[in-house]
Structure 1
Amino acid sequence: MRTAYQYRLRLTPQQQATIDEWIELCRRQYNYRLADRFNWYEQNRCDINACPLVCHLPELKDCPDFYSQKRDLVNSKTLFPEYKDLPSHTLQDVIARVEKAFDRWLKGDSNGHRSGKPRFKGVGRYRSITFPDPIKPEHINGRFIQLPKIGKLKMILHRPLPDGFKVKTAAIIKKVDGYYITLSLQDATVPVLTPDAPNLNTSTTLRVNNIIGIDMGLKAFLVDDSGSYEPIPQHYRKAEKKLKRLQRSLSRKNKGSNRRKKAIKRVAKAHLKVSNQRKDFHYKTAKKLLCQGKHVAHEKLNIKGIARTRMAKSTHDAGWSQFLQVLSIKAERAGLLAIAVNPNGTSQDCSSCGNKVPKEIQDRWHSCPGCGCELDRDHNAAINIRNRAVGHPVLKAQETPDGIPGVTEKPALYA
């Protein structure tokens, strides 16, 4: 089993200066190695629809890869002796990041999805360094952890390290409110949970009992198939007034002045607080769902597409993508599944009879003229999502264990 714990660091001024210097050297090395790959790409590329009969390109050189650039680190240390103070594997990790970013731009990831063109890291844009070597048990003593070429660092041990786990890697991250260390832990004796999909050979009632359907929205963060809802917190919109004031104050400061640096730090802290609040809400909501011991079915939304519409600010404020990622990871750890279903028609179809009841975006109440089903729009969608997850587009109320409640009065939330 592999997991990660993050702790806050309490560093001495000398340790802070050392880490800042190392991060800056890694940033320069990242930009240099990325520029080396860009130069190769521009000098050796030729459009397939415009290739001349006689090649006019200079003598082709080999593509810089991880191993060739890693061997060239010796020359970097000769020309710039300050690189000798960094651990060798930390510098090699910088080249690994360059190769990953460059390959995902040209080739794509394992699923074939290509990323955008990598960008050079400006000052303050490179914020972490990695120590890929495993940390020996004798190098962890209570709240202190010993890293190569920097010595012992003090951690705020808000939770103890689990017994039996070995520290495989460590990464120091610089945030606006301080320094953090992320420890990657592994224990081969703990099996990795691989939950199975719902068994199609069991009865329909049993499978419906083991799955929760949720419909995510912007009026309520989510509504489940029982009709209960989770109100949306809107952390960014609540902090928008303060952020506007801080940003206006920042715009008045002279570039390069110390006051501008302090104003930048105030703005960054305000944004970090919003981010932490949103992440805390996502983890607590995921735990609340998974504590019921059931699989969770949700819509497979095109969140990037929705974020380009007029609902962009509200979509980013809700953080659906981060929530679904947290839900998927936590469900796997609990031996459960987060099942993504086709979202087409979940709000339009009746969850009782399956007839299509057209609605506009402003229509928040589902009223079926065929069977007389009266439900909130999101509640109706959550039931449809659950039914699709078990393989049945429509399940009548009398076939489910508790029945689909025929609500005739609007809940207080939608009144």
Structure 2
Amino acid sequence: MKTSYQYKIKPNKEQAEKIDNTLEMLRYQYNYQLAQRFDWYEMNRCSIDRCSLIVSHLPELKNQPNYYSQKASLVQLKKDRPWYKDIHSQVLQEIPKKVEITFDRWIKGDVNGKKSGKPRFKGKGQYKTFTYSQFNQAHFINNRITLSKIGSVKVIVHRQIPDGFKIKTVSVTKKADGYYVTLSLDDQTVPTIKPDFNANNIVGIDVGLIDFYVASDGSKVKAPKFLRKSERRLKSAQRKVSRRKKGSNRRKKAIVKLGKQHKKVADTRKDFHFKTANNLLKNYDVIAVEKLNIKGLAKSRLAKSVSDAAWSQFISILTVKAENAGLKVVAINPNGTSIECSNCGTRVKKTLSQRTHDCPNCKVSLCRDLNASINIKARGTHALKAQLMSS
């Protein structure tokens, strides 16, 4: 079983400067290696995709920068720029890996063939995380963690690491309110499914903007709308940033305050997602959810409300916590869950403003979200049986 714990750290002034300098140097190197990829791409690309065989000429292609060549160049980098020796080698080697992933997603796409936008160079303060890909368990004792090239840093341990879990990687992140470490943990002895798992204890949930979710048993949770409730404070903080002179200390302070306001909204939303996921997993062994195209919804006129609800984050948290507890989350095809009658299967088309499902065939009348969640449960039950039979 894999999980991660995040702790706030309290570096002294000298350690904080080392972290900031490390992030800036990594940002320079990231931009440099990304520029190498762009230069190769522009030098070897051709706007003409076909031509006559008689006049065709294939120019000699330059060597393409890849992960291994850019990783090997780091040896010379430390000779030319000795100050890069202040960064641990594992941390520095993460740069070509990030560049490789970012560039390939733009050119080739991900495993599903979906391409990302053109990578951007990172401006000052935009590079916020670095990772130690290997970590010695003995370097985290009580409330102190030893980070190579930085030193022993105080950690606010708000919860202990469970017995049996080993620290695989450590990431250091700079946020608006300070510095954090994220520990990636792993324990191979934890069973993937709990012994008393009950496949019949299943519920379907339909997420929405009015109710955060409506369950197939009739229970529901209102959408908290954290961003909407904080808009006045965020607007006030944003105005202060806009009124300050660019490059001034007052503007920097205003940006920090704005960042803290946004972080407070994000943290409150995340806490709500964790508590909601815990309540579901306490009562059910299987949760069926829709496999929504959230990116598509985020481009609609409901973009702000969809972002405020953050369904993708909630489903991700729910899935991870279910795996850690030996339970199941089943994602089903959402096509038709809102218009199919949960009682007879008749398709009843309705507009988004119609909040009641009225079936002309079997005369059933109920909330459209409840109708959808019952359909989700039925599809989830079918999908779960297929999974269990295949395994």
TM-score (norm 2): 0.92
The structure-2 alpha-carbon separation of the partners of 1:56 and 1:108, relative to structure 1 and needing over 3 Å to count, comes to closer
Matches within 5 A, 1:232-381: 232-381=223-372
Q: Which residue is 1:7 aligned to?
A: 7
Count of residue pairs the alignment pairs up: 380
Q: Distance in 2 between matches of 1:94 and 1:45?
A: 25
Q: Which residue is 1:89 aligned to?
A: 90
Identity %: 52
Q: Deviations over 1:45-79 (max 9, x none)?
A: 2246246835474x532111111111111221222
Secondary structure of the equivalent of 1:5? strand
- For structure 2, which runs of at least 5 residues remain unmatched after alignment? 384-391
1:103 partnered with 2:94: no
**Over aligned residues, Cα RMSD in angstroms?**
2.1
Q: Which residue is 2:152 aligned to?
A: 152
Q: Distance in 2 between matches of 1:350 and 1:159?
A: 46
Q: Distance in 2 between matches of 1:252 and 1:286?
A: 41
Q: Distance in 1 between matches of 2:76 and 2:106?
A: 27
In the TM superposition, residue 278 of structure 1 has moved relative to its aligned partner by 1.0
Q: Which residue is 2:16 aligned to?
A: 16
In the TM superposition, residue 17 of structure 1 has moved relative to its aligned partner by 0.5
* 305-314 or 357-366, larger mean C-alpha shift: 357-366
Q: Distance in 2 between matches of 1:123 and 1:325?
A: 30
In the TM superposition, residue 215 of structure 1 has moved relative to its aligned partner by 1.0
Contact 1:135/1:169 (8 A) holds in 2:
no
Q: Distance in 2 between matches of 1:2 and 1:216?
A: 27
Q: Distance in 2 between matches of 1:51 and 1:154?
A: 65
In the TM superposition, residue 338 of structure 1 has moved relative to its aligned partner by 1.7
* 96-105 or 330-339, larger mean C-alpha shift: 330-339
1:69 partnered with 2:60: no
The structure-2 alpha-carbon separation of the partners of 1:281 and 1:62, relative to structure 1 and needing over 3 Å to count, comes to same
The structure-2 alpha-carbon separation of the partners of 1:30 and 1:374, relative to structure 1 and needing over 3 Å to count, comes to same
Q: Distance in 2 between matches of 1:297 and 1:140?
A: 39
Contact 1:246/1:263 (8 A) holds in 2:
yes
Secondary structure of the equivalent of 1:121? coil
Secondary structure of the equivalent of 1:152? strand
- For structure 1, which runs of at least 5 residues remain unmatched after alignment? 199-205, 393-415
**Of the two, which has the highest radius of gyration?**
1
Give the letter for the 1:188 counterpart.
Answer: Q
Structure of higher RCO (CA pairs closer than 8 Å, 6+ residues apart): 2
Q: Distance in 2 between matches of 1:357 and 1:260?
A: 55
Secondary structure of the equivalent of 1:391? helix
Q: Distance in 2 between matches of 1:384 and 1:260?
A: 52
Q: Distance in 1 between matches of 2:350 and 2:103?
A: 46
In the TM superposition, residue 383 of structure 1 has moved relative to its aligned partner by 0.9
Q: Deviations over 1:150-206 (max 9, x none)?
A: 221110011112223222211110001000011112233334x169xx9xxxxxxx9
Q: Which residue is 1:166 aligned to?
A: 166
Q: Distance in 1 between matches of 2:190 and 2:380?
A: 30
In the TM superposition, residue 265 of structure 1 has moved relative to its aligned partner by 0.8
Give the letter for the 1:82 counterpart.
Answer: W
Q: Distance in 2 between matches of 1:280 and 1:290?
A: 15
1:384 partnered with 2:385: no
Q: Deviations over 1:290-343 (max 9, x none)?
A: 111321112222211212211111111111111111122222222222222222
Q: Distance in 2 between matches of 1:302 and 1:62?
A: 39
The structure-2 alpha-carbon separation of the partners of 1:136 and 1:356, relative to structure 1 and needing over 3 Å to count, comes to closer
